Amino acid sequence: MTILVTGGAGYIGAHVVLALLDAGEDVVVLDDLSTGDRASLPGSARLVVGDVGDRDLVGRVLDEAGIAEIVHLAAKVIVPVSVVDPLGYYEANTGKTRALLEVAVAAGVSRLVFSSTAAVYGVPDTHLVSEDHVPAPINPYGRSKLMSEWMIADAARAHGLSFVILRYFNVAGADPHGRAGQSTPDATHLVKVACQTALGQRPHLAIYGNDFGTPDGTGIRDYVHVSDLADAHRAALGHLREGGESLVLNAGYGHGVSVREVIDSVRRVSGVDIPVMSAPRRAGDPDALIADASRLRQRFAWSPRHDDLDQIIAQALSWERRLMGS
């Protein structure tokens, strides 16, 4: 059975592809390489360079490869950019998801795993957020993903599609075997930026707000290792193959780490006292945002293997050093 992974040459996508290949699956990747890197894909993954919104291309790929399952990760993901380019984000994340669904339904695709985000929750009134929390996104990125979730659910009811939607919290780290990592040079992820600062690629690290209602004054987030997240996608497909019901699940660890704790870990692991500077809080940043991930653990018997901040940092640092030497 061949699986189509859209956005499979991107950061999370490459790790999902590795997890599927490691499990013996046959994978076709569709990626326009606008942010993805073909070098992150092993040779056994077939790459089709193209746009997920290209109906003719997607139709040919589904037909020629006999695709019955799709893992849909292709998207634009930078929140501040979505604010200044909302239409671009609605096109990339919502419009192209609609196009993919249209072709997938016509081709008889029966299972879909969709990459969503904790940004659909906006600024929740509780630090620990379950899937029952009413979505209230505050930016075009979150809204574009929530609209895609609605379309998927509606298409499933109308056409018999089964799905799992994974709402990611803060993804971090790199493949423990050094095969993939976060390669986008201007990425805004805290762990990557902190590692680049430790390696002298950035002059300093900005802390956006030190007056949050948290023990050390900085924001707390749920950082999930990218390889554990990739395993959740593999488990989601297994669940659907066994006839499991369609689900919307949080993907995180269920505990949080502050910005200062991330910085302390980078200093500890790298041995570098990275320079930091204070910056104003960003609009809409909650004090803490932590996944209630109990349903993911229960439904899939999912047990993280890399829930250790220093390990996450060490592997991210190793990947950054690899990029510097390439």
Q: Which helix (H) or strand (E) holds 98?
A: helix 96-107
Catalytic residue among 90, 141, 223, 253: 141
pLDDT tens digit sequence for 111-131: 999 999 999 999 999 999 999
Q: Which residue in this structure is represented by tokens 């950082």?
A: 223
Query: What was the pLDDT predicted at 283?
Result: 80
| Cα(32)–Cα(97) distance, integer angstroms | 15
Would residue 141 show up in a list of annotated catalytic residues for this protein?
yes
Q: Which residue in this structure is represented by tokens 């950061």?
A: 11
Query: What was the pLDDT predicted at 326?
Result: 58
Tokens of 155: 């298409």
- Can you list the residues of the chain whose pLDDT is less than 50? none
Query: What was the pLDDT predicted at 264?
Result: 98
Neighbours of 97 (CB within 10 A): 25
Query: What was the pLDDT predicted at 145?
Result: 98
| Cα(22)–Cα(283) distance, integer angstroms | 41
Query: What was the pLDDT predicted at 186?
Result: 76
Domains of the chain listed by start with CATH number: 2-172+223-251 (3.40.50.720), 190-222+254-325 (3.90.25.10)
Query: What was the pLDDT predicted at 168?
Result: 97
pLDDT tens digit sequence for 197-242: 999 999 999 999 999 999 999 999 999 999 999 999 999 999 999 9
CA nearest 31: which of 55, 10, 12, 56?
A: 10
| Cα(123)–Cα(133) distance, integer angstroms | 11
The number of residues making up the chain comes to 326
